[in-house]
């Protein structure tokens, strides 16, 4: 499933799904800002990801992110001499080989959750953003490899869900609550999970404005 709730008409969050040479790629991307600046960054990100995989033939997520960082910096002409420029993107990207049942993951700040037999395992991202002034073109991203078992479910997301204010005390929803919720709904099919996630955050939010774009992608393996 893909739960996608833009804050404005145009969004800084986007999802990217392609198949290339027998592998499946999916990514949840959170660009700086929302609205028009975020949407502009998302176009750069979307086009760059397609080019990196389809034209350059780079298929390892760590290498894809490393190259994406170079592309974004090149496109925006950003350098470490302009620390006031904060255009960039945080994302989680996975590449799955269904023949080998191997999943590769790389992340820029955004982790990967894997739920297996009722337990949630988190693969942490590199604490680096794509294209931000704190990184340069030599920055590399870590590639993580996981074996996938039947019934495994993965989740990638932007920070919008966890950062939503609400509840009785007007606090953020937070990642701890998201993890608990994902474990709790594992007996549900993916369509139902999406509905529960949407209803939960809407009830949490109540009358409070949505603070950011919300994006969660869930994928169950048979």
Cα–Cα dist 15/5, whole Å? 12
How many CB atoms within 10 Å of residue 198?
16
Question: Domain ranges in the chain?
Answer: 2-161+215-220
Least confident of 16-20, 80-84, 97-101, 149-153: 80-84
The CATH T-level fold of domain 2-161+215-220 is Phosphatase 2c; domain 1 (3.60.40)
Per-residue pLDDT, 122? 99
Percentage of the chain lying above the pLDDT 70 cut: 93
Tell me, yes or no, if the pTM score tops 0.85: yes
pLDDT in tens, 129-168: 998 766 677 889 999 999 999 999 999 999 999 999 999 9
Per-residue pLDDT, 83? 46
Closest by CA to 217, choosing from 203, 202, 197, 187, is 197
Does the pLDDT of residue 183 top 70, yes or no? yes
Q: What share of the chain is helix, strand, coil (3-state, %, to 5)?
A: 30, 30, 40
- Beta bridge partner(s), residue 123: 112
112-137: average pLDDT? 90
Cα–Cα dist 138/206, whole Å? 45
- Four-residue CA torsion sign, 85, 32, 182, 217: negative
Cα maximum dimension of the chain? 51
pLDDT in tens, 185-204: 999 999 999 999 999 999 99
Cα–Cα dist 138/147, whole Å? 29
Structure tokens at 212: 């950011």
Q: What is the rounded average pLDDT for all residues in the chain?
A: 92
pLDDT in tens, 32-88: 866 677 788 889 999 999 999 999 999 999 999 999 999 988 887 654 544 445 578
Does the pLDDT of residue 219 top 60, yes or no? yes
DSSP-derived 3-state class of residue 62: helix
**Packing angle, helices 35-50 and 61-76, rounded to 10:** 130
Per-residue pLDDT, 86? 56
């Amino acid at each position: 499933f893909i739960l996608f709730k833009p804050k404005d008409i145009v969004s800084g969050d986007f999802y990217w799904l392609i198949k290339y040479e027998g592998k499946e790629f999916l990514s949840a991307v959170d660009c700086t800002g929302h609205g028009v600046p975020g949407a502009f960054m998302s176009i750069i990100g979307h086009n760059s990801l397609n080019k990196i995989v389809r034209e350059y033939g780079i298929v390892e997520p760590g290498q894809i992110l490393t190259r994406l960082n170079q592309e974004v910096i090149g496109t925006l002409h950003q350098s470490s001499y302009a620390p006031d420029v904060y255009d960039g993107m945080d994302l989680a990207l996975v590449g799955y080989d269904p023949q080998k049942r191997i999943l590769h993951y790389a992340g820029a700040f955004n982790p990967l959750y894997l739920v297996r037999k009722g337990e949630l395992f988190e693969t942490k991202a590199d604490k680096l953003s794509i294209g931000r002034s704190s990184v340069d073109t030599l920055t590399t991203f870590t590639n993580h490899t996981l074996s996938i078992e039947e019934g495994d479910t993965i989740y990638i997301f932007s920070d919008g869900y966890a950062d939503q204010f609400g509840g009785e005390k007007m606090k953020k929803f937070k990642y701890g609550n998201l993890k608990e919720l994902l474990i709790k709904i594992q007996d549900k099919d993916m369509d139902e999970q999406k509905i529960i996630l949407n209803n939960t955050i809407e009830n949490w939010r109540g009358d409070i404005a949505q603070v950011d774009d919300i994006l969660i992608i869930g994928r169950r393996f048979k």
